[in-house]
Amino acid sequence: MALEAAEALIDDAGMAGMSMRQVARAMGYSAGNLYLLYRNQDELLAAIADRTADMLLEHLRRCAADAPAAQLQLKAIACGCVEFAGINANRWRLLFERAQSTPEWDRPEPAMTRRSVEPELYALFREQLRALVPAGTAQAADAAALALWSSIHGLCVLAVNDGLSWSGHTDYRPLAELIVQSFVRGLGGTPALPRPPADA
């Protein structure tokens, strides 16, 4: 109940629009009861971030499962990232913006560390890229996956903040597809991939 109430407040007004007292009020409980579950607001936000990470990863896996080939799966994952960010903008911000909130009460316990989901997302891109490049270039594909994920993440930032409104774009998924298509085409016979160290 606490997580659902907090998520609804965040979806409606962002992290600034959520407080422990507001969550407790939405549940029909006192704030004191809520502090029996979570030591402070940061710990509650960390729990929501974990749930959001699981939601995002499950969404991307479903997107990939619906695509028949590696390149199409890569496009589906990229579009799924942008789609999720656009629909769940405030929870996406919570997941990637690491700044901790100010606890409502002055409590001595340290805030719980929020989950770092970036390595898990990178692994999804890496898995698909490794299927698209020649054998023996796994290390180069890993570097390429990092570059591609960074590009898609940047597009998600723009989507969440409506950063391309001046261009007339409201659906960012075609841009994600174009990034993947251009990136994979640029790999070609892998001359564009970074060379692994000589002793690798």
Does residue 51 lie within any of the structural domains?
no
In a domain, 6, yes or no: no
Domain that holds residue 98: 56-187
The residues, ordered by sequence, that sit 6+ positions from 45 with a Cβ below 8 Å of its Cβ are: 6, 15, 94, 100, 101, 114
- CA angle, 22 then 29 then 9, to 5°: 30
Note whether 196 and 97 are within 8 A (CB): no
Q: CA 64 to CA 128: how far, in whole Å?
A: 9
**Does residue 99 lie within any of the structural domains?**
yes
pLDDT tens, residue by residue, 91-116:
999 998 754 444 444 443 444 456 78
Is 16 contained in some domain? no
Question: Does the pLDDT of residue 127 top 70, yes or no?
Answer: yes
Nearest-angstrom CA–CA distance, 95 and 71? 27
Number of domains in the chain: 1
Distance CA 33, CA 116 (A): 29
pLDDT tens column, 143-200: 889 999 999 999 999 999 999 999 998 899 999 999 999 888 877 644 333 334 444 4
* 77 domain residue, yes or no: yes
